[in-house]
Structure 1
Amino acid sequence: MKKKISLTGIKPTGRPHIGNYIGAIKPALEMAKNEDYLPVYFIADYHALNSVHDPAEFRNNVYGVAATWLSLGLNPEKAIFYRQSDVPEILELHYILSCFTPKGLMNRAHAYKAAVDKNLATGLEQDHGVNMGLFTYPILMAADILLFQSDIVPVGKDQVQHVEIARDIAESFNRTYGASIQLPEYKIGEETAVIPGLDGRKMSKSYNNTIPLFAEAKELEKLIKKIKTDSTPPDEPKDPDSSTIFLLYKEFASEEQIEEMRNKYIRGISWGEAKQELFQVMNAYLEKPRENFYQLMANPNQLNEILAAGAEKARVLCKPFLHDLKKIIGCK
């Protein structure tokens, strides 16, 4: 039986953080354990080119994402793991799909609308600072998804629109040619659909409220102490399900630890103690992956070899599909 495709990508725009892990990496690695699926992981470096124009930073960010996946358990022998820019078929499909994408659909894309709203709110021309990479970002993402005939795309809640746009574009192509591009489905982990950051807003580099995934122990402890809490007195009961600290704790603790922590919340625990408990489980959980991460970062040639091998597997998988698509539109 042909395996279904599960596809996950991460944009390398800075240090991978806890939100990346909980929202994308962890569920994708869990899905990889399902033998009905072929896991496909990619580093979305062309997406990062919208905002990162320093070559050294760009390259280091790519290595950082690669080392993150590998140190957390991705097995490149059992998955397809590649750098987006190593698979030229993605850009070829990107152009083909752009010819079936209404401009109005791009006008409604969240990232573009957010940029326009920000410009108008500050008195700037609406497209100030907007490059075409940002504007057509959803089409490139559609190419990422559709090229591999993905069945499932695990995403955070804020990324659902991109999968829906990919479906819209595929349906437009299918109506035109009577063809059948695979329509992907998205999968959200509802409990962690939005990961809160240090200030209670969504954890995001743009808000500067992230916890780097492989921060050294002292930095990790310092950042956890900054997590925003309410003014409930130390001995008063607290609601674990509305607590950022408890939400993060659940992602790194055992079932027994989680139950014990929940009871502490109900009985009454100080925020300082809760933060220390969170630090202990996170630091213990990430200690070995952190060591592996820095070893890999010190060996970029090893990372390049792994990504190049993954790109070859990716191209073997996607070339027949693109060839058939070009025959359909008359290019073959």
Structure 2
Amino acid sequence: MTRLSAITPSDRAQLGNHLGATRRWAREGSPDDLYFVSDLHAMTVAYNPVRLRARTNEMLAVLLATGIAPEAVFVQSALVRELGALTWVLECTCSFGEASRMTQFKQKADGQSVVRLGLLTYPVLMAADILLQGADEVPVGDDQAQHVELARDLARRFNTTHGEVFTVPRAVTPATGARIRDLADPTRKMSKSNPDAAGTVFVLDEPDLIVRKVRRAQTDNLARVRYAPDEQPGVSNLLEVLAACRGTSPRAEAESFTAYGPLKDAVAEAVVEELAPVRTRAREILTDPAELDAVRKAGADRAAERAAHRLASALRVAGIG
């Protein structure tokens, strides 16, 4: 069974990515699982090409530094030709109505003066990512479940119309993990693409910067440490972070504190300790471009080899191969 997961280099990897996804990939992944940096997905909004390339390399280095096996990772754009071909076939299988009713498209396009066509069609590219590799399961959060459902619909429709080529994937909800919120605004989740980075801890942040961000985290004026996300979102977020780093529960951690200062100190220490080995190893990898290039090439070769027969079959039965 193959599981497929991805992370988009819209900005640098942050603590929520680490605790909620990449650390779990490293700990729980099987030999057949695949993890990729979805740099093509980052092109659906305005972007800087130089920064995109740098962020892609950094994200790949972070995945490796987290402990994911080199043979399990690749960069999406290494398969740009294969994905381009399959995406076109799937776009000709998908209806405009299906694409336009994707919730993320509606949310991201709302209020924008210029909306890139790629923002509308990228769920089809995501379907191509999944179907090209023959993924059985795709671990996703609620915001991406609709896209996996589209991939399922397109796989079934193509198979019914042209012949059995694609595995019909299913979305799986990862085991309940930390729901890391922005430290400065706990009403929103921590995100690598938030315009204000004051509340975002990035994986490669220096320890002193992590400490400053945690100490400035929003709490409240209730002067009590409880895990009550609705009533005390800031304090509860700090407890979530601490529990995730320590492998405990937020409610259990709350019993150890009576004031916000000591809680913030403990959180800062735990986060610095959690991220230290990843930051150190990632920077070592980034200072050795030859090693990173070798990993990229090996990952691209493996992913292309896995995809070759499936793509050839799809093109053949669709009448163009």
TM-score of the superposed pair, with normalisation by structure 2? 0.89
Alignment of 1:172-211 (within 5 A): 172-179=157-164, 181-189=166-174, 191-192=176-177, 194-198=179-183, 199-200=185-186, 201-204=188-191, 205-206=193-194, 208=196, 209-211=199-201
* Mapped contact 1:156–1:193 kept (Cα < 8 A): no
Of stretches 236-245 and 174-183 in structure 1, the one that deviates more from structure 2 is 236-245
Q: In the alignment, what sits opposite 1:55? A: 49
Q: Which letter maps to 1:67?
A: A
Residues 187 and 9 (structure 1), Cα distance of their counterparts in 2 relative to 1, 3 Å cut: same
1:284 equivalent in structure 2: 273
Letter in 1 for 2:69: N
- Is contact 1:154–1:186 with CA below 8 Å preserved after alignment? yes
Q: How does 1:161-310 map to 2 (within 5 A)?
A: 161-179=146-164, 181-189=166-174, 191-192=176-177, 194-198=179-183, 199-200=185-186, 201-204=188-191, 205-206=193-194, 208=196, 209-233=199-223, 236=224, 238-239=226-227, 243-254=236-247, 258=248, 262-263=251-252, 265-266=254-255, 268-310=257-299
Distance 1:116 1:264, change over 3 A: closer
Instruction: Describe the superposition over 1:70-124 as per-residue Cα deviations: whole angstroms up to 9, x where unpaired.
Output: 11111214x2x111111121221111100011111111112320133334xxxxx
RMSD: 2.1
Are residues 156 and 195 of structure 1, via their aligned partners in 2, closer, same or farther at CA, if it must alter by over 3 Å? farther
Contact 1:12 1:61 in 2 (8 A): yes
Q: 1:52, CA displacement in angstroms?
A: 5.0
2:85 is the alignment partner of 1:92: yes
Decide whether aligned partners of structure 1 residues 100 and 160 sit closer, same or farther in structure 2, where only a CA change above 3 A counts.
same
Q: Give 3-state SS (helix, strand or coil) of 2:138's partner.
A: strand
Separation of aligned partners in 2, 1:9 and 1:65: 11
Distance 2:146 2:312 in 1: 28
CA distance in 1, matches of 2:165, 2:178: 30
State the partner residue of 1:15.
12
Which residue is 2:115 aligned to? 130
1:252–1:282 Cα contact (<8 Å) kept = yes
Q: Structure 1 residue 82 and structure 2 residue 86: aligned?
A: no
The residue correspondences of 1:318-329 to structure 2 (distance < 5 A) are: 318-329=307-318
SS in 1 for 2:307: helix
Residue 214 of structure 2 contacts residue 264 of structure 2 at CA under 8 Å; is this kept in 1? yes
Matched, 1:112 2:105: yes
Output the CA distance in 2 between the equivalents of 1:145 and 1:193. 26
1:68 aligned residue: 62
* Deviation, structure 1 residue 171: 2.0
TM superposition shift of 1:193: 7.4
Aligned-residue identity in percent: 29
Unaligned runs of 5+ in 2: none
Counterpart Cα distance in 2 of 1:45 and 1:277:
35
- Cα distance in structure 1, aligned partners of 2:306 and 2:256: 55
In the comparison of the two structures, how many residue pairs are matched? 310
Maintained 8 Å contact 1:112/1:134: yes
* Separation in structure 1 between the aligned mates of residue 225 and residue 24 of structure 2, nearest angstrom: 31
**Is 1:155–2:147 an aligned residue pair?**
no
User: Residue 111 and residue 164 in structure 1: after superposition, are their counterparts in 2 closer, same or farther (change >3 A)?
Assistant: same
CA shift for structure 1 position 228: 2.3
> Counterpart amino acid of 2:239?
F
User: Relative to structure 2, which stretch is displaced further, 219-228 or 57-66?
Assistant: 219-228
Q: Give CA-to-partner distance per residue, 1:266-302, whole Å, 9 cap, x none.
A: 3642122111111111111221211111111222232
- Paired with 1:264 and 1:86, the residues of 2 have a C-alpha distance of 44
Amino acid at match of 2:109: V
Distance across 1 between alignment mates of 2:294 and 2:85: 24
Corresponding residue of 1:43: 37
CA distance in 2, matches of 1:59, 1:237: 43
Work out the CA distance in 2 between the residues paired with 1:131 and 1:237. Answer: 45
Counterparts in 2 of 1:268 and 1:69: CA distance versus 1, 3 Å = closer
SS in 2 for 1:29: helix
